[in-house]
């Protein structure tokens, strides 16, 4: 149960019955949060973009150290 007006970000992914879905039971939270991002349509692309960004930053740092 969340607080009224809360934002729920479902970043998990599970395969249930051949269907990809998230970790949060959004339907049970429906009266509480003001917004939610259901998986897999939710923040998946953001997670991938941030992972890419972090990898590039790590590569740049390691290249600067070895130069």
Residue 6 contacts residue 24 (beta carbons within 8 Å): no
Helix (H, G, I), strand (E, B), or coil: what is residue 19?
A: strand
What confidence tier does 26 reach under pLDDT thresholds 50, 70, 90? Answer: low
Q: Where are the alpha helices (DSSP H) in 1-67?
A: 26-29, 44-66
Q: Is the pLDDT reported for residue 34 higher than 70? A: no
Structural domain for 33, as ranges? 7-66
52 lies in some domain:
yes
What confidence tier does 30 reach under pLDDT thresholds 50, 70, 90? Answer: low
24 lies in some domain:
yes
pLDDT of residue 62: 85
27 lies in some domain:
yes
Q: What is the mean pLDDT of the chain?
A: 72
- The domain total for the chain is 1
- DSSP bridge partners of 37: 9
42 lies in some domain:
yes
Q: Is the pLDDT reported for residue 18 higher than 70? A: yes
Q: Is the pLDDT reported for residue 61 higher than 80? A: yes
2 lies in some domain:
no
């Amino acid at each position: 149960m969340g607080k009224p007006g809360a934002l729920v970000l479902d970043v998990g992914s599970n395969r249930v019955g051949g269907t990809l879905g998230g970790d949060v039971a959004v339907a049970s939270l429906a009266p509480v949060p003001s917004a939610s991002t259901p998986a897999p349509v939710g923040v998946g692309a953001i997670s991938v973009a941030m992972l890419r960004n972090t990898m590039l930053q790590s590569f740049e740092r390691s290249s600067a150290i070895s130069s």
